[in-house]
Amino acid sequence: MSKFRLAVFIAFIYVGQVSAVTGLALVHGTGNQSNAAADYWQWGMVNSIRQGLSNQNNYVVINCNFEKYMWDSAAAGCLATQLTNFINSKGITDLVINTHSNGGNVIRWIMSNPTWDSRYPNIISKIRWVNALAPSSKGTPLADAVMQGSVFESALGWLLGYKSDAVRMQQTSWMSYYNGSWLNGTSGRPALPKGFWNIVGTDVETAIWDGDSYCGGYALNVGLEITQAWLASCSDGFLECTSQEGAGSTWFRDKSRMNGGEPLSHNQSRRQCCGLDVILRNDI
């Protein structure tokens, strides 16, 4: 079922249910965040997306320690706590989650293992769908390089962090194991209980004459273009397209929907770039 048809189906479900309360959660990727609204997403992105809410105060920006393994109490446990508090405090019955990169793995852990934590079933029941922005569903060869102590170990500190549990977890062979045993949504595994819709970054552009190349930070995009040389041709500088499309369903690849047919680097897919924020706003 396409996302459009699913949206129509959900619209019919909610017709007449005036008590439905829609909420938005923004879930960051790898890193130990204390102010993800300012530091990870930036407020322009947050404030633009939440305009899609009938009550623009019904949003939460998650701050957890995603340098840990996805199942850790500081990762999935923290996420469950903050989502539960948000759902309960706002009376949320219809939750849209936008997540980025490794945050998609933490969300998939919750949706794949409902008996792990007593709070998980209630969270799952409230989710309408998850928009996964460049999710690292099958890991990245760059995590392999960091853990092996190659030149990438120092060169990629700004992108991945160093040898944290989350980086170790995102090695391709490790994610293959998790996808085959603990996580749902990949080929040959049970489907996830709610939609997991991927927005895929396919390239990195850093032309000095192209204003879009500066969105999200020109220097960061240059770094991603360098790391792209060690990845498949279809990649966002951090994740190959096959990883981003490894679980759930592909909503769209960047160039098919971004303003001017622009690509989204891994950094740009969490920022107010090329109309991405408007698409996510309208999706609510």
pLDDT tens-digit profile of 63-86? 999 999 999 999 999 999 999 999
What is residue 218's predicted lDDT score, i.e. its pLDDT?
87
In a domain, 143, yes or no: yes
State the Cα–Cα distance between residues 164 and 168, nearest whole angstrom.
6
What is residue 209's predicted lDDT score, i.e. its pLDDT?
87
Least confident of 19-28, 220-229, 274-283: 220-229
Taking residues 176-182, what's their average pLDDT? 98
In a domain, 124, yes or no: yes
In a domain, 227, yes or no: yes
Token pair of 81, please? 């706590």
Tens-digit pLDDT profile for residues 88-98: 999 999 999 99
Count CB-CB contacts under 10 A for residue 92.
23
In a domain, 3, yes or no: no
Provide the domain count of the chain.
1
Token pair of 276, please? 């991405």
Taking residues 244-249, what's their average pLDDT? 98
Domain extent, residue 28, equals: 21-283
In a domain, 9, yes or no: no
User: 3: which residues sit within 8 A by CB, 6+ positions away?
Assistant: 129, 195, 197, 249, 251
Q: What are the phi and psi torsion angles at 112 (to 5°)?
A: -90, -20
What is residue 58's predicted lDDT score, i.e. its pLDDT?
98
In a domain, 164, yes or no: yes
In a domain, 67, yes or no: yes
Do the beta carbons of residue 248 and residue 179 sit within 8 Å? no
Token pair of 188, please? 């040959």
Q: What mean pLDDT value characterizes the chain?
A: 91
User: 208: which residues sit within 8 A by CB, 6+ positions away?
Assistant: none
Taking residues 245-258, what's their average pLDDT? 98
E strands present in the chain: 22-27, 59-61, 94-100, 127-133, 195-200, 249-253
Do the beta carbons of residue 212 and residue 273 sit within 8 Å? yes
pLDDT at residue 49 greater than cutoff 50: yes
pLDDT band at 207 (very low <50, low <70, confident <90, very high): confident
Do the beta carbons of residue 102 and residue 218 sit within 8 Å? no
Do the beta carbons of residue 218 and residue 282 sit within 8 Å? no
pLDDT at residue 7 greater than cutoff 90: no
Does residue 281 or residue 145 have the better pLDDT?
281
Q: What is the CATH number of the domain that holds 230?
A: 3.40.50.1820
In a domain, 30, yes or no: yes
Burial status of residue 85 (CB atoms within 10 A of its CB: 0-12, 13-18, 19 or more)? exposed
Identify the helix (H) or strand (E) that includes residue 176: helix 172-181
pLDDT at residue 20 greater than cutoff 80: yes
Least confident of 77-86, 143-152, 223-232: 143-152
